[in-house]
Structure 1
């Protein structure tokens, strides 16, 4: 009899009131729970709860028929007396799954329950808040708009949902009206999209508005609309709410005539200071303000109750008994969680996940969580702030606890995601189990399996890294003194304080400062070696990370003063990425995987150093014993790669030999993008892990930067010239690889001439010099650096060509910028204007720059202030006002020619040039000033009456 037949036989004879779980069947049949689940599904047999369902339904009907009306508690007691091992929670859940036709008595036993009674603290710390919320809901005729305030993770969303259920219970809103939730932060970077989703839009209101579309406001008509993180609603969005709050009327985006009527009760939630984050006129329209206390402000008995509830939830999820030592409860109670209830829940989940992992493969009915388990968790293991609580009082209150699935009926305080904190997927424990069995087939020691699974778990909980309250981070920074200059470490500490104090970010990613210190140290070396730094994402960084880029400018200024070097704009972009990562409040994006593979135990030793130094968990070490078959190692790498991949690809760092082809093997077998770098050393691994820790870095960027660092080739500045552009493809013979390089470049750049050359050519240097007389040779790309002075060289590797071409994009874009063909464009030219005042003209010229995205709105104020201090009047009737370069996003010039001269300080002008320059555009400034310093040119130029001629004269003069 095979396993399938044995399983069928056992299920046929099991007790219907207490069917065997898959885990129990697995132990009885000496196989895994996963295998039982697969066999059961193949046979179309339900799980233990599904097999118990008909017996439970029949027993309920019999009990109710004998006893008449019963409440849930009474029914649960009767079921337990009849032999069911069941809880009130399961009985309630059963009724939510069946309809009235299946169980006609459902309405008879339904007991009305206060929705707020499901909140821990409803009769304690939340009592006043609940009283306020009930008053707001019951206030005639349709409740009072309410604002819920509190720190991140305190349970504002859950509280708002209780208000919704209370409103339904009191028949303020109908049962069929849904609870509409909208998180303003999800779309804060795109205000137009946010407003269109919220209020709807009229066909043609903007590009892509193909149909009249309802917004969430209309969906919430006659109900409740909950606006989470309402402080992220732009001023225009708040203004539209005015009319709804005042008159119950609004218009969709793009509508100008008839107003739409709605009856809505608004509930908003925010973590911010009301006076600084919301318009005064908006705040006045919210009569009810409800404050939810932070976790550390609540009574410790409530905190303990919440901890018990979360442990019971995890017990229910894995359907296994959990035993927790009192010391674990004590530590969780004493720790102050900056993320409040959300972070507490995540911490408990990661502790349970680790305990579950350690229990896999052991024939134990109970998972034990002890003191050592919680200390191994990242968010607990370092220094943490103790709550101001009497420890003896806690110890008298708590005790060792055993949790049994679905037996206890603690309050379900976390039905919904708490203020953006991530909840584990329902199958997370199954994922751990599956990965364990995959790894167990690869002949890996259990200690290695445990380490890999722990890395997998930690990657799911990357938000649990120690926060700014931990002094351990400063110690780690100081530990870098052997590889980073002491003054740079001090500078990074200064950056950290800037972010904490000036920008009010108290919840920051401390690890980033370690990476930043190493990065800045390497930057100074590159600058002093005159190696040009190129950031291919600079334009995107400046557009998307405006605030972070401004901070990076300040950091670069400090660095320049400290090291007496000039920090290029591209490097400022890199610093902005680190600032962005440090201020990241949301869970980090999936990262590129890093796996180090080596002969002997070199990989493990390197990874141990890197993890200790950078305080990270994600890099994986795979050792290849010299006496182990390569096929066994390859099988191990395939299995681990499947687990490590987070859909961003994997970077393999290997030492030598056959391991060089490991990445291609993984890609061919699993379809995972990979790159492989050989001859790896400790510094390379540190760089790889540091770069992989920044979510914006992709696999190709990390690999390319590591290759460039290894080859250490100079990227020199390109001199201005009118010669045509050319590139040189170079290999050993001038054929083969050079031809492939040439063809790849010509496919992308039709206007660039590419020459093939070979390093063996004795006249190579002479031929290149001859080419330079006719062409501007941007760079040589090839397999060997000819080391020709003043010539850029880009190393060629099979997977590196795309990155090299991106660098040529930078060169070519620099050519177009310096050519001045776009300054000023016609839409930035005010010709023959009849404006009669300096103020009016400055307003119009700045408006053009602001509306077209060249500058921020603060630019106008800076221009006005500078003119008030000292009018920029030049000889010849010319004015050149200018503003603060820190608020310039893209360099541009507005030129105005007036019909009649206007007063400008101490004279009259009829030509005004308003430049807007980025900080590092020195060449543009010099080119611009040339025409305006030539009085002969100015006199002729002012007399021109044709706009095209006026513009062409300016272009020609700028090119001289």
Structure 2
């Protein structure tokens, strides 16, 4: 048993990928080897303790063979990791893993490239797309190194780089350069010339600016890609062969530049992001690598000013990475010329080329937080990061949080236990930050932080009742000071995948504390002129939850507006003191103020403060009643206006607000004399039509339903709001929830009815299987011009896309599914069949995987009775084959009989 288990783990670990990783869970291992889960778990955990396996504490828990990881050149620093991403972040010592962003913004690109390089025979052609200077040539060179490391080409295999722009005005010379020519092929061809394809035999040919190729050149190339053969210019009777791996690069839109027949031969198209579109951590790593290179060349220690680093980090320059590299080279050279006799070279803003010195002045007019200069030492392969224990502690927390949240998404852990566990971890971290004297509290920036946090909490107390607390301010200051505005999760793969779902989850489950955290940190980022990271909002939200700050007032808001220097302020102040609570805001207004200015003040208040429960305006003149009409288009919740304001009136309204009465209850309760007017304005006119999506498993699934409905309805629903919402809140609070105040809700679509009888509910299952499509279309008929049959087709298509994307690695899911959809429609027409929704879904899934399987040269199991089957079902097989002719032509494949048989079985069943 041990030997079988060992072999299984080694094989799946050595071939580890995102698609295959689930094979390494205890459940999957037990299934594969027909062993009980308890037996497998016992052995696996014992092997971890003995150092034979590496444990990944994700969901599900994975077990990786240590020797296989070492053979795959992984750097292992410990026995257990919180996530597979954490293991990958330590890196494999191969050419692609060392690329900055390999586990961040370039992760998908690297995965595509590995697939292309390791594909049998000569791999798959690769097209690199990206703006000038984004690193296409550098990446092509690394692909060559990776191919050598993986032994798919020899260590001496050539790497030939050629820029097609050199001869794009002369197709003959370009064709000659690529394919060679015979003697006398054209004027001046006085001897036979061997082209780049022949010279690159056994290796890689990199063609930069390939969009310069003429159509004829593209045709010659794709003929070579199909057959491996080519003819030199001047003699088409000569057929030569060459084994060459092709990498192309372009800065242009491929669909507007290349022949469709050429594009069909490019299964791997890799997009490289601009420098400014990459996470800050990656931009800084790139900058570091260039300074290290210059330090090695100059053989001097470089000390680079933080202002210069900041400028390079935040500049959006033509030329991207290449331009940054050249600026750094010039600045280091300029500094070296003036300081070559010094041991340490100071590189400052003055060393920039003149044009960039001017750009710095334009770009950075505001004073910034003073950061330490960065040091770069010669003879070092990479920047030495002196990462603090506090940053390491935060990294471990965030990785653990992502791993635990994944369990919540897979229903392996409850949301409550997740929140409690994370809040406890945050409390421990905060205690450690507070009670370990790792920094001097009198340092200037710590003092600045503490001051601004206290000021912000004061503002939040006045406006939202957020209690001031000295411990709170010091804890937050410690966290922000020690974190030093670092973006810990910016390039983390699982963070980019889960961020939206996690933030929506926290917004729904920690509504009050999440809102407090977001408000406080947003205000601080403006005051300190530094970036706001969503990871900080998450951390601080858990911290506030641990302090039991859940009393965000959802009460009605009220403003007193009166003419005079202090009339409104006096009224509001007196009543607030009597109520012992900050209930009223005051606006003191000049006598000659216009309605427009008053309106703008109130709109500013509505945008700044939460008025979900409603807003009451207590005004001193009847003329202000006109505000109702003017503000109706801006409000998203009810508003009451009462004129002839007085102390008793303000006090009466205040008592109702403090008692927790709703705005409609207050409106009904306030009795006014004839000379006093009151009006209730409901935001009916501007209410948008909406569909609410919900799922009892949480917001993540509700969001998926939203995305699919948006795709199905397309442009026709641009005026329609499709809103994912918390199922439990809908079930508990019914029509009192915010969406019903803000929108005209047409229906609820979900996996479980929240039992709101006034609003139609459509089950997702019935929508997909077609039973409720007519009802769905009827409810939308006034807003969307919708054909029920078209909707049904789109629903199946879009639900298929979600599943197909998980299984395809080479093909573009949207493109292949469109072709398959056309083929299946043709099958229906030829065979005179109307497929059920379940058959359509199964056919879409099967056919997309089948096409990729054929392209990968993978086969299905042999079938001994195939001849007998063909004799019996030959007519059907012929019709199916005919329906898939366009697919065969598009991907240059032939559907074998074994695959056609599987399709026929699906049709018959």
Q: TM-score, normalised by structure 1?
A: 0.30
